[in-house]
Amino acid sequence: MDFNILEWLSLIVRWVHVIFGIMWIGSSIFFNWLDSSFEPLKAPEDGVVGEVWMVHGGGFYHVKKKYLKASEMPENLYWFKWEAGFTFITGITLLSIVYYLSGGAFLLDSTVSNITNGQAIGLGIGTLIIGWLVYDTIWNSPLAKKPLMTSTACFLMVIGVAYALTHILSSRAAYIHVGAMMGTIMAANVWIRILPGQTKMLKAVKEGKPVDPAPGLRAKMRSKHNNYMTYPVIFIMISNHFPITYGNDLNWLILAVLIVASAVIKHFLNTSENFSFWAPRSAGVMAVSLLALMFITYKPKNIEASVIDTNTMVTQKAVEKVKFTQVKQIINQRCVACHSTKPTDDVFTVAPAG
């Protein structure tokens, strides 16, 4: 039995990536909930913004949000940053193993474009970098004072990237790169915008200087962005299991619908934890989304279908469904030799790509 190092690396890195992703997204969701759940103290305390009581694991937890003085700085202060860092590192590593080091097997689609493997890799990496730079520039501009307009601009950027990539890369790779771009934005938000703001706040407290609220407010805004992107990114990262989405001719539009739907549902969950509030609204969004997806993916029976012959390209009417016996014949003739459990092909002794 051959030891395929890339396969084992893919398994291990994917496993670790999922673990760190759960830790990061879990803490993000928890802190956004916590921040919106603080209530005023019955007996006001100096510097305390609010408090919240929780019960879990047989104990009670009393959390207070407060502004500290230099004399009150605790000896041990826990930061939530490594989850984001290692999710990003393992994600980029996994992207490289599966898409960049596989000779273009999952990255390219000759029926979509004639781009080379090297060009596709450059495009993929460039998408992650430029995506962050455009997003960050938009939210550092005066447009940030109009969040609805700015959010719309960022959404259109994401969908524009999705449209472009689905017409250059393989559809599966296009989806993953859109998710990787959003994941890069989220990780960069943590390390480039959120953590430096917290560092400035800590420095001011230690030096006994007034704390400038601006960096903290910007950090909170970026944290909120990350919170809204979690559901769309989670879907994209598991989308390779659902070719009904990325395999459609209008895959970019399907992705747009799913991003909007998941972000709106996230908004309902952020707004209220009351089941009677978010459940019916979320169900309504899902129903509308399903109707939209049905409309997008619907194709009449008498559709023009392109049939590829070995010698000529022929366009025929796909009036009737192809019988499975015909499909099985083609599979036996063209696929089984290489892709069976025990390949009989002289060249491919192990099934390529599964």
pLDDT for the residue 297:
82
Q: What is the dihedral of CA 168, 173, 179, 180, to 10 degrees?
A: -90
Residues 94, 96, 102: CA angle, nearest 5 degrees: 110
> What is the C-alpha to C-alpha distance for residues 147 and 81, in angstroms, rounded to an integer?
26
User: What angle is formed at CA 150 by the lines to CA 147 and CA 151, rounded to 5 degrees?
Assistant: 80
Residues in contact with 287: Cβ distance below 8 Å, sequence separation at least 6, in sequence order: none
Q: Are 124 and 177 in contact (CB under 8 A)?
A: yes
pLDDT at 317 over 50: no
Express each pLDDT in 176-203 by its tens digit.
999 999 999 999 999 999 999 888 888 8
Q: What integer pLDDT is reported at residue 345 of this predicted model?
A: 63
Q: Which of 170, 80, 187, 74 is nearest to 129 (CA)?
A: 187
Give the phi and the psi of residue 307 in degrees, each rounded to 5. Answer: -110, 125
**Residue 210 vs residue 166, higher pLDDT:** 166
- The Cα–Cα gap between 266 and 231 comes to 7
Q: Are 184 and 128 in contact (CB under 8 A)?
A: yes
Buried b (16+ CB within 10 A) or exposed e, 340-352: eeebeeeeeeeee
pLDDT band, residue 312 (cuts 50/70/90)? very low
Question: Does 58 or 320 have the greater pLDDT score?
Answer: 58
Question: Best-predicted range by mean pLDDT among 155-164, 221-230, 270-279?
Answer: 155-164
Asked if pLDDT for residue 300 goes beyond 80, the answer is no
The pLDDT assigned to 296 comes to 87
Rounded-to-10 torsion of CA 126, 127, 129, 134? 130
Phi, psi of 245 (to 5 degrees): -90, -65
Residue 64 parent element (H or E): strand 59-66
Angle between helices 82-95 and 5-37 (to 10 degrees): 150
Contact call for residues 150 and 143 (beta carbons, < 8 A): yes
What does the pLDDT read at residue 73?
Answer: 83
Q: What does the pLDDT look like over 199-250, one tens digit per residue?
A: 888 888 888 888 788 888 888 899 999 999 999 999 999 998 999 999 999 9
DSSP codes of every residue in 294-335: HHHH---SSEEEEEE-SS-EEEEEE-SPPPHHHHHHHHHHHT
pLDDT band at residue 318 under the 50/70/90 scheme: very low
Question: Looking at residue 140, what is its pLDDT?
Answer: 92
Q: Given this model, what pLDDT does residue 315 score?
A: 43
Question: What is the predicted pLDDT for the residue at 216?
Answer: 81
Taking the C-alpha atoms of residue 348 and residue 335, their distance in angstroms, rounded to an integer, is 11
pTM, two decimals, is 0.80
Smallest CA-to-CA distance from 158 within 35, 238, 258 is with 258
Element spanning 12, H or E: helix 5-37
What is the DSSP code string of 231-251?
HHHHHHHHGGG-HHHHTSTTH
Query: Given pLDDT bands bounded at 50, 70 and 90, which one contains residue 3?
Result: low
What Cα–Cα distance (Å) separates residue 287 from each residue in 144, 216, 258, 267, 283?
32, 38, 12, 17, 6
Which residue, among 298, 143, 340, has the nearest Cα to 157 in the 3D structure?
Answer: 143
- Quick one: tokens of 322? 């192809």
Of 213, 208, 221, nearest in space to 143 by CA: 221
Spatial separation of the C-alpha atoms in residues 92 and 99, rounded to whole Å: 10
Residues 154-168 have a mean pLDDT of: 97
Model pLDDT for residues 19-30, shown as the tens digit of each residue: 999 999 999 889
